[in-house]
Amino acid sequence: MVNGLRILIADDAVTTIEILQFLFEQEGALVTVAENGEVALNFVRANQFDIVLMDIQMPVCDGIQATKQIREFNTQIPIIAVTAASESEAQEFEKFGFNDFFQKPVDFALLQEKIGQYA
């Protein structure tokens, strides 16, 4: 389902990154990792991705600010908020430019299904 996709994971939680990167690469995805929103923003400016998985709370630049800035120059790339926020809180993310959200802890099979809706 994700084979060949170029996925940007923006998250400051090392364990989350390591697990998702390993699982996506096992499925044939090309994964790039950003440890904060500023790095993610720079990656999106310089590269093409099929989808961005964006944590909300990160140092330097959070996921909301990064997504708002990405939307200033790229309205097409799907951005999914991957967050520990409640479903009611996460539904507010659309107004910041997110296409969707996914709650932590991550169920990899469900996340793959969600990505399949966009990529």
CATH of the domain at 23: 3.40.50.2300
Asked whether residue 1 is domain-assigned, the answer is: no
CA–CA distance from 60 to each of 11, 13, 69, 103 (Å)? Answer: 12, 14, 14, 22
Q: What is the pLDDT of residues 78-105, one digit of tens each?
A: 999 998 888 788 778 899 999 999 988 8
- pLDDT at residue 31, as a whole number: 98
pLDDT digits (tens, 9 = 90+) for 17-40: 999 999 999 999 999 999 999 999
Please state, as a whole number, how many other Cβ atoms lie within 10 Å of the Cβ of residue 14: 10
| Rounded distance between C-alpha atoms, residue 9 and residue 7, angstroms | 6
Range of the domain at 86: 6-114
Q: Kindly report the CA angle at 98 between 112 and 76, in degrees rounded to 5?
A: 85
- For the chain, the domain total comes to 1
Structural domain contains residue 104: yes
Phi, psi of 103 (to 5 degrees): -85, 140
> The pTM is what?
0.94
Q: What is the pLDDT of residue 59?
A: 92
In a domain, 119, yes or no: no
